[in-house]
Structure 1
Amino acid sequence: MRATGKVIVSDPIDPAGVAILERAGLTVDYYPEIDSNELFSKVKDYDVIIVRSRTRINREVIEAAVKAKIIARVGVGLDNIDVKSAEDKGIRVINSSEAAINAVAELALGCMICLARSITRADKEIKNGNWIKKDLIGTELRGKYIGLIGVGNIGRNLGRLARGLRMNVIGYDIYPIDADYVREIGLIKTDLNTLVESADFISCHVPLTSETKHMLGAELFAKMKPTAYIVNTSRGAVIDENALYDALRTNKIAGAALDVFEIEPPVNKKLIDLPNLICTPHIGSQTKESQELAATVIAEKVIQIMHELQLDS
């Protein structure tokens, strides 16, 4: 059975996803640079809205989307979508979080290695003509403790990568941690305070909610080892950037790597200019493999739901 309906794609996605939707019978209008006003005026005609992180689907857009049955986020997280307003109108909200599992975990591990070995500083200095070999005494990851704040799909994958480097893995989550996974890597389950006090590397893998906003702030930074490093590839507001600035500036912690920021692009220049901070522009899932998988996963989910809706009607 062919699917029927109209789809608007308001952010750039891999062409493979568009092709799958069209082959299934759906009409796809691709507007990867559409602005909020134009989206608001067009959205009334569509059954499916597909976005990435740029487009914000707020209550006003949802109210205007009178035909919408699905809002699909190509990627992880739903903080750019008013999920409650959508659900109140009976609109399904889906994402393709599974597609980013490997890419984000690999970036987090790469950030840890860059911090441990001062790779970005070494690159900058040698290109400026400075041979600072004697200043660059790093540390090895083997034998160190990595603390996973959030032991979902991405956190678990990073834990496996870390165990491959012979690291010890500590985990904290507000949800029960899979018992098979605990046995698989020898995970040490603990509370948040014990994790930050014990870990040499801390990696954040939690969604942004009212409970997780600024969960890493001055109080927890004060409990960390002065040799500790923090990596955040989840959502920027999980970390209080002003408290992080103070902790890095005063060497309460050794360094940090941020792929995400409270405001993107970042405006906290005093933070991003610190020498013991590594920054990347929200590229956690920016791999060819992850982008193609995210688009195809969303396309398949949309087609399945549209088929179900057609059968029910």
Structure 2
Amino acid sequence: MNTNNATNKGLVLIADEMHLSLMPMLENLGYEPDYQPKIARAEIIEKLNYYVGLIIRSKTFVDAELLQNAHQLKFIGRAGAGLDLIDIEYVESKSIALFAANEGNRVAVAEHVLGMTLCLMNNILIADREVRNGVWQREKNRGYELMGKTVGIIGYGNNGSETAKRFKAFGCKILAFDKFKKDFSDEIVEESAMERIFEEADILSLHIPLTSDSNKWVNAEFLSKFSKNILLINAARGEIVPLKDLAESIENGKVRGACLDVLENEKLQKLTDEQKVVFEKLTTSERVIFTPHIAGWTFESYVKINEVLIEKISSLG
């Protein structure tokens, strides 16, 4: 790091892996990027006094300790949608602008959710595996159509609304609940109370942030309220759905299938003994599809996230 050659607007620390297009974008705004994707937390704390900007992904927890030397910091950019790793109240108390790239991966998330849903409903992964092993079973792998199904979407922000468009294109009825929004019904979606979603949904797709309210919200009691046996999709945050409760709901038939892009504990080598038992049970189920938190992780979104961040950072002038 060269602290003597900062541009007029100052240095920006990029503390995680980012698409390299970010560097010239920052330079065009008059900032000097300092790309250190492997930087450790202790070093960030030590050196943050040199920077006017900090850009992170998901490995860095931003709290009072991290920002203790951030005397020049004007903004923090989160290359993604979730802000659960950031002490928002503290950041705002220090008059530091906070930007997230919520719009950058919404198409990627929506397409991934739809892809997982189609795979599960049509037994695509099972059938592929069987054919590769010389097994040709048509009746066993008869699938279900999306046309005419009712999809309940919880959280109608960037990802939820984009996902609704994809399901609508397949002839689904879309009901959406969002505790922070009102009067958003249109030709795609009907604003709905949770009671109606419990009554009518065939498919439930989660698009909410992790908060104290949403943590473990979609538990066994919650899932038992659905009139139908539903397909559950979680491409939001793993902690929202306790896997023990999900496994129980799959076993009793209330959840007939699950698409999971996120888990309570995504460090699979560090699962507790209880988590291991539940995870292994789910991995043996043909009614569950997993992906490793890649719903928003496309080549296109990698660049779009940068573009969204830069547009927001440019508003600082």
TM over 0.5: yes
1:194 corresponds to which of 190, 193, 196 = 196
**Equivalence for 2:186:** 183
Aligned residue identity for 1:251: G
Does the Cα contact within 8 Å between 1:232 and 1:259 map onto a contact in 2? yes
Q: Report 1:227-246 matches (<5 A).
A: 227-246=229-248
Q: Look up the SS of the partner of 1:256 in the other structure.
A: strand
- Cα deviation, 1:43-89, whole Å, max 9, x if unaligned, reads 22111000011222222102232221111101101111111111111
Q: Look up the SS of the partner of 1:254 in the other structure.
A: strand
What RMSD in Å do the two structures reach over aligned CA positions? 1.8
Shift of the alpha carbon at 1:144?
0.6
Cα 1:36/1:130, change in 2 over 3 Å: farther
Does the Cα contact within 8 Å between 2:74 and 2:95 map onto a contact in 1? yes
Shift of the alpha carbon at 1:3?
5.1
Aligned residue identity for 2:313: V
The answer as to 2:101 corresponding to 1:96 is: yes
Aligned residue identity for 1:277: V
Comparing 189-198 with 112-121, greater Cα deviation is found at: 189-198
**Equivalence for 2:298:** 287
Q: Report 1:42-61 matches (<5 A).
A: 42-61=47-66
Cα 1:42/1:128, change in 2 over 3 Å: farther
Does the Cα contact within 8 Å between 1:21 and 1:28 map onto a contact in 2? yes
CA distance in 1, matches of 2:135, 2:44: 51
The answer as to 2:26 corresponding to 1:21 is: yes
Structure 1: gaps spanning 5 or more residues? 308-313
Cα 1:124/1:41, change in 2 over 3 Å: farther
CA distance in 1, matches of 2:69, 2:238: 29
Q: Report 1:293-304 matches (<5 A).
A: 293-304=304-315
Shift of the alpha carbon at 1:226?
5.5
Q: Look up the SS of the partner of 1:47 in the other structure.
A: strand
Aligned residue identity for 1:22: E
CA distance in 2, matches of 1:193, 1:135: 34
Structure 2: gaps spanning 5 or more residues? 1-6
Larger fraction in helix: 1
2:154 corresponds to which of 129, 149, 152 = 149
**Equivalence for 1:119:** 124
Aligned residues with identical type, % of pairs: 32
CA distance in 1, matches of 2:164, 2:308: 24
Shift of the alpha carbon at 1:249?
2.8
Q: What is the aligned length?
A: 302
**Equivalence for 1:108:** 113
User: TM-score, length-normalised on structure 2?
Assistant: 0.89
- Cα deviation, 1:162-221, whole Å, max 9, x if unaligned, reads 111111111111123443xx2222x33322233133211110011111111112111121
The answer as to 2:178 corresponding to 1:167 is: no
CA distance in 2, matches of 1:171, 1:265: 32
Q: Look up the SS of the partner of 2:253 in the other structure.
A: coil
